[in-house]
Amino acid sequence: MTELSQALRAIGSSVDELLGRLIPMPEGPEGQLLDAMRYSALAGGKRLRPFLVVSSADVFNVPQSYALRVAAAIEMVHAYSLVHDDLPCMDDDDMRRGRPTVHIKYNEATAVLTGDALLTLAFEVIADDETHPEPAVRAELVAMLAKRAGSHGMVGGQMIDLLAEHESLDAGEITRLQQLKTGALIAFSCEAGAILGRADKPERHALLAYAHDLGLAFQIADDLLDYEGDASVVGKAVGKDLEAGKATLVSILGADQARIQAEMLADQAVRHLDLFGKKADSLREIADFVVNRSS
């Protein structure tokens, strides 16, 4: 196993352990909701966003216990977005991370409520003083997560994506959609490290620029997996974009050019990290993983 896979696995285990403590055990009349929250948030996944939070925070020597709480909150928001995205009124998927989606295992109403409860718990976790002793830091994290997850961030991107099924977007419009739908949470993962570490403006700017290019590279890799990946390895249905006639950078540029574009973006992302020296090595390594992953 490479050092990067070991680090990803270690951060994944720490986040799983924390999520297991933060999401209450199923009991009482609302037990089914808590069960579904645990089912969706503790279902594996690459834990890329936690890796980005911890690695960005490491650049500023932030205690890992703070970064892990933000990482757990981001995974709650990420899990909520996947549960809602899988619903019949959105992408209508039966499988996620190799298991039945939440509305298949439970029912649609439970899936809606599971997403709602994960999103609100994420904010409760960040606002708690265990996340950072300074109220101003916690407030900034709360405000930034709201912005990145909301109508001018992930949810806005999802809206554009749904509308795009009935129109053909050009490469620029697709790029903006992806910046919002996928890139916004990746951006927050890196920004959170800078907020926790009270980074100065140039440092924040560099991390955001890195996250911007990384997010686009990540999405092209995701589209390539949908185009040519193996459903049993990816853990969800593939070929969905083609089937829905949805324009992606892969359908516009072709798979080979799209792969070149993803690699160029990953290289460009890494160049934004120059001012951090060796402290940003983990962020450099993950950029390569993002474009060459198989799931």
Contact residues for ligand GRG, defined by CB under 6 A: 45-46, 48, 78, 81-82, 84-85, 90, 97, 154-155, 158, 181-182, 219, 222
CB-nearer residue toward ligand GRG: 78 or 259: 78
CB-nearer residue toward ligand GRG: 180 or 199: 180
CB 278 to ligand GRG: min, Å: 26
CB 174 to ligand GRG: min, Å: 12
CB 78 to ligand GRG: min, Å: 6
- Nearest Cα to 121, choosing from 50, 23, 28? 23
CB 157 to ligand GRG: min, Å: 7
CB 127 to ligand GRG: min, Å: 21
Check: CB of residue 46 under 8 Å from CB of residue 293: yes
CB 275 to ligand GRG: min, Å: 27
> For residues 255 and 54, what is the distance between their CA atoms, to the nearest angstrom?
32
CB-nearer residue toward ligand GRG: 69 or 78: 78
CB-nearer residue toward ligand GRG: 90 or 127: 90
Mention every residue, 6+ apart, whose C-beta is less than 8 A from residue 200.
Answer: none
CB-nearer residue toward ligand GRG: 154 or 211: 154
CB 202 to ligand GRG: min, Å: 29
> For residues 112 and 167, what is the distance between their CA atoms, to the nearest angstrom?
27
CB-nearer residue toward ligand GRG: 9 or 271: 9
First to last CA, the chain: 17
CB-nearer residue toward ligand GRG: 4 or 139: 4
Mention every residue, 6+ apart, whose C-beta is less than 8 A from residue 98.
Answer: 44, 232, 235, 236
Residue with tokens 């083609």: 242
> For residues 262 and 74, what is the distance between their CA atoms, to the nearest angstrom?
24
User: What angle is formed at CA 204 by the lines to CA 60 and CA 269, rounded to 5 degrees?
Assistant: 95
**Which residue has its beta carbon closest to ligand GRG?**
45
> For residues 31 and 51, what is the distance between their CA atoms, to the nearest angstrom?
30
> For residues 78 and 101, what is the distance between their CA atoms, to the nearest angstrom?
14
The helix/strand/coil state of 238 is coil
